[in-house]
């Protein structure tokens, strides 16, 4: 049942991506009249998805690189150096791993 709750929206999303706007509003849960890739071509050219993907990849790469570097430096100093308050910071980071981000 949980699998159906997750897969059903994805199924309708993929089906809707093959429909025209008229088909979508006429029968949102029905099958498209023909399975074409016109919507994907239009999205690629009109919304410049290639530029968006490139920008997302650059931002993600930089964020992961900086985050990894800062995390390595912070974890080494907390674990190895005899600093006052290092137990507090260690417990704070472990508590952050336990509490969900949402």
Choose among 35, 5, 3, 1: nearest CA to 17. 35
Could you report the average pLDDT of every consecutive run of 10 residues in the chain (102 residues)? Answer: 90 91 88 87 88 96 97 87 85 87 75
Tell me how far apart the alpha carbons of residues 33 and 29 are, in angstroms, rounded to a whole number. 12
The tens digit of pLDDT for each residue in 33-48 reads 888 888 889 888 898 8
Percentage with pLDDT > 90 across the chain: 35
Which tokens is 17 given? 């991506």
Is the entire prediction scored with pTM above 0.75? no
Burial of 41 (0-12, 13-18, 19+ CB in 10 A): exposed
Please give the pLDDT value at position 7.
94
DSSP string, 55-96: HHHHHHHHHHHHHHHHHHHHHHHHHHS--TTHHHHHHHHHHH
């Amino acid at each position: 049942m949980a699998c159906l709750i997750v897969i059903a929206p994805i199924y309708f999303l993929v089906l809707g991506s093959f429909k025209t706007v008229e088909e979508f509003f006429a029968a949102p849960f029905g099958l498209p009249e023909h399975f074409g890739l016109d919507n994907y071509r239009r999205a690629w050219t009109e919304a410049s998805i290639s530029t968006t993907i490139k920008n997302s990849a650059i931002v993600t790469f930089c964020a992961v690189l900086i985050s990894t570097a800062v995390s390595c430096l912070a974890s080494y100093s907390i674990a190895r150096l005899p600093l006052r308050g290092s137990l507090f910071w260690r417990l704070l980071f472990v508590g952050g791993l336990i509490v969900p981000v949402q």
